[in-house]
Amino acid sequence: MAIRSVLRLGDPRLLQIATEVSEFNVPDLDALIEDLFDTMAAEEGAGLAAPQIGVGLRVVIFGFDNNPRYPDNEAVPKTVLINPKITPLLKEKEEGWEGCLSVPGMRGVVSRYSHIRYSGLDATGTAIDVTATGFHARVVQHECDHLDGIIYTQRLSDAKKFGFTEELLNSGQLGSAGCPE
């Protein structure tokens, strides 16, 4: 359908709480999902949330087979997740580098639950219930945060572990792992 422009940090729309989807199998929702996938592919992202393209609905997509931006990460199944709910399965959190298409060119360390269960609805309104660990769990938590107006920069573990990707790579801090979007 269309590649949409991604809102960048500073746009107040990224800070709004998104609204639940109540109608499924309607052209507007199907077009939104197509646009999200087109935009994520064009930006080589690992995930994208509707508010990032200026649509205040509780819709996220994520997943990839082999993402050139994150060559060390395991594949994550391509998923449309609507009206999501996340439940941590363990108290354990782990730190990892994240990036965001709304904060281009930068990465920061964020602590996320390592084991989660997430539920919600797919593109047709059918229930989804999945358990996830590691990078998969991180991507889901990052994307769902967007629905509550939260950008990863609000969750940095340490403001010193945040910077331009290029500088972090040049100084050997980043490696190539662990970055949603």
- The rounded distance, in Å, linking the Cα atoms of 48 and 7 is 11
Considering only residues 8-67, where is the footprint of Ni ion by CB under 5 A? none
Among the listed ranges 11-19, 78-86, 115-123, 173-181, the one in contact with Ni ion (CB under 5 A) is 173-181
Residue 100 CB, shortest distance to Ni ion, in Å, is 3
100 touches Ni ion by CB under 5 A: yes
Q: Which residue is nearest to Ni ion (CB)?
A: 100
Residues in the chain: 181
Residue 54 CB, shortest distance to Ni ion, in Å, is 14
Of 45, 46, 50, 181, which one interacts with Ni ion (CB under 5 A)?
181
Alpha-helix runs per DSSP H in the chain: 27-43, 134-147, 165-170
Tokens of 103: 């904060």
- The rounded distance, in Å, linking the Cα atoms of 158 and 18 is 28
Q: Is 143 labeled as catalytic in the residue annotation? A: yes
User: Is 14 within 8 Å of 7 (Cβ atoms)?
Assistant: yes
98 touches Ni ion by CB under 5 A: no
Residues engaged in binding Ni ion (CB under 5 A): 100, 181
Catalytic residues: 143
